[in-house]
Amino acid sequence: MLGSRAAGFARDLRAVALAWLPGWRGRSFALARTAGAPHSGDLQPPACPEPRGRQLSLSAAAVVDSAPRPLQPYLRLMRLDKPIGTWLLYLPCTWSIGLAAEPGCFPDWYMLSLFGTGAILMRGAGCTINDMWDQDYDKKVTRTANRPIAAGDISTFQSFVFLGGQLTLALGVLLCLNYYSIALGAGSLLLVITYPLMKRISYWPQLALGEKEDS
Judged by average pLDDT, the poorest of 32-41, 64-73, 103-112, 141-150 is 32-41
DSSP 8-state class, residue 75: H
The stretch 155-168 carries a mean pLDDT of 96
What average pLDDT does the chain have?
80
Instruction: Assess contact for 108 and 118: CB atoms under 8 A.
Output: no
- Taking the whole predicted model, whether its pTM rises above 0.75 is answered as no
**How far is 50 from 52, CA to CA, in rounded Å?**
6
Task: Please report, for the domain that includes residue 89, its CATH number.
Answer: 1.10.357.140
Residue 39 in any domain: the answer is no
Q: What is the pLDDT of residues 51-64, one digit of tens each?
A: 555 566 778 999 99
pLDDT level of residue 39 (50, 70, 90 thresholds): very low
Residue 15 in any domain: the answer is no
Residue 173 in any domain: the answer is yes
Name the domain count of the chain.
Answer: 1
**How far is 119 from 46, CA to CA, in rounded Å?**
53
Residue 53 in any domain: the answer is no
Of residues 74, 79, 53, 38, the one with CA closest to residue 162: 74
Distances (CA, A) of 111 to 38, 98, 100, 174: 72, 10, 11, 11
The stretch 21-45 carries a mean pLDDT of 47
pLDDT level of residue 179 (50, 70, 90 thresholds): very high
Residue 210 in any domain: the answer is no
Sign of torsion over alpha carbons 212, 163, 178, 185: positive
Domain that holds residue 165: 59-201
The type of residue at 105 is C
- For 98, phi then psi, to 5°, come to -65, -40
The stretch 173-191 carries a mean pLDDT of 91
pLDDT, position 203 = 79
Residue 5 in any domain: the answer is no
**How far is 214 from 160, CA to CA, in rounded Å?**
19
- For 112, phi then psi, to 5°, come to -60, -40
Residue 93 in any domain: the answer is yes
Ranges of beta strands (E only) in the chain are none
Residue 165 in any domain: the answer is yes
